Amino acid sequence: MIPARGGSKGVPGKNLRRVGGIPLIGRAVAAARGAARVDRVVVSTDDAEIAAVAREWGAEIVDRPAALAGDTASSEAALVHALDALRVRGVEAGILVFLQATSPFIDPADLDDAIGRVAAGSEDVVFSAVESWGFLWRHGGDGMTGINHDPAARPRRQDRTPEYLETGAFYVLDAAGFRVAWHRFFGRTGVALVEERHALEIDTVEQLRLANAIAPLASPVGALDVDALVTDFDGVHTDDSVLVGQDGSEYVRVDRGDGMGVALLRAAGVPTLILSTETNPVVGARAAKLGVEVRQGLGDKAAVLRAWAAERSLDLDRVAYLGNDVNDLACFDLVGWPLAVPEAHPRVLAAARLVLGSSGGHGAVREAAERILAARERAARASTTANTTRSTP
């Protein structure tokens, strides 16, 4: 369950802001769907745009009434309302996993571990936290006062017992106990220690900037669960610049890492296609080097894409298209995963489901390939876990 209201004072439109090219609500949904033990992902929201994006990422929506979406409304009230709405739909929750979209780096493996502990009955509540060794102070009547230490006798770190700082990322709750308590903390409470790089919570614009800076290192979320990759050429496989020789020959810059990414896709059996509006020998030469199909001189790239997918019985909702300019927008409208490079035209950036962190000609194709392969690996692990769970008496 992911409560995500439309209003936000500190960071306007916060739940739709992007971290590493992915909307925060999309990250939360992807993290939940990536957990093998989560079988239903629900977003409670009062905002139509949040609902639309959450649906794109695979969530079910519960419409939250305005009375539960104001600044003073509690998350607990939204959770109870959503549980009641699901009950009307014939769904009774056994374990409630409460995620907050303001934590962009939730690891699905941490969710699975916490869910397992509650499912086993050892704890009623498990919440995410990091170890804290900090010395806390508070303003008092006579100046600063030590909170968790004696300022006159401060022990070494190795002589201290750590405290635990709640990250706010997730809470795993026994649903029946939560309904009785109407609070996220009740009964036997345990802590799920997460890595510090996964603990960032976004409440300010500065924290949003920090999240974007560390996203390439901190986040496993953003894998592309698709069956094929189609790309533009100029501005995607290249940096959109060209060198022209005296004889009119054109030269472009490509990235060898992109070539390896395409090779990995081919080895995994993922169909790949290059579409180009222009006809240029360099495009054909690069496609031949990569060993992928190419179609050039296209007036209607969308029609070619539709026909290519039909020939291979590919569902366009499970195709990713990577582009950078306005002539890619028609293809964006067809596929389930429109992708853009970060320097793409503003209209393309606005239409993209995912904006990559790597630029055209500088690893964008490799990044898309790695995200696709990561999704396949994650799905394979989840299937193995599910099969193991079903076979355990």
Q: What is the pLDDT of residues 242-284, one digit of tens each?
A: 788 888 777 888 888 999 999 999 999 999 999 998 888 888 8
Q: What is the pLDDT of residues 338-349, one digit of tens each?
A: 999 999 998 888
Burial class (CB in 10 A: 0-12, 13-18, 19+), 168: middle
C-alpha pair distances (Å), 7 with each of 69, 73, 354 = 8, 11, 23
- Picking from 106, 86, 105, the residue whose alpha carbon sits closest to that of residue 94 is 86
Residue 351 contacts residue 322 (beta carbons within 8 Å): no
**DSSP result, 140-159:** ETTEEEESSS-TTS---GGG
Q: Which CATH superfamily is domain 228-376 in?
A: HAD superfamily/HAD-like (3.40.50.1000)
**Region for 144 from its dihedrals, namely left if φ exceeds 0, alpha if ψ lies in -120 to 50, beta otherwise:** beta
Q: What is the pLDDT along the chain (393 residues), one digit of tens a residue?
A: 999 998 777 788 899 988 877 889 999 998 999 899 999 999 999 999 999 989 988 899 999 998 888 888 899 999 999 999 999 999 999 999 999 999 999 999 999 999 999 999 999 999 999 999 899 999 987 889 888 888 888 888 888 888 999 999 999 999 999 999 999 999 999 999 999 888 999 999 999 989 888 876 665 555 688 999 999 999 999 998 878 888 877 788 888 899 999 999 999 999 999 999 888 888 888 889 999 999 988 889 999 999 999 999 998 888 999 999 999 999 998 888 899 999 999 888 878 888 888 999 999 999 999 999 988 887 777 666 556 555 555
Give pLDDT tens digits for 24-37. 999 999 899 989 99
Are 192 and 126 contacting, i.e. CB atoms less than 8 angstroms apart?
yes
Alpha helices (H) along the chain: 24-33, 48-56, 75-88, 108-119, 175-181, 205-218, 256-267, 281-290, 301-311, 329-334, 346-351, 364-391
Q: What is the pLDDT of residue 364?
A: 94
pTM: 0.71
Q: Which residues of 197-227 are buried (b: 16+ CB within 10 A; e: fewer)?
A: ebbbbbeeeebbeebbeebeebbbbbbbbbb
Sequence ranges of the chain with CATH classification 3.40.50.1000: 228-376
Please list the residue range(s) of the chain that carry CATH number 3.90.550.10.
2-131+165-221
CATH annotation of 2-131+165-221: 3.90.550.10
Q: How many CB atoms lie under 10 A from the CB of residue 86?
A: 17
Instruction: Please give the C-alpha separations between residue 317 and each of 19, 25, 30, 322, in angstroms, as whole numbers.
Output: 23, 20, 17, 14
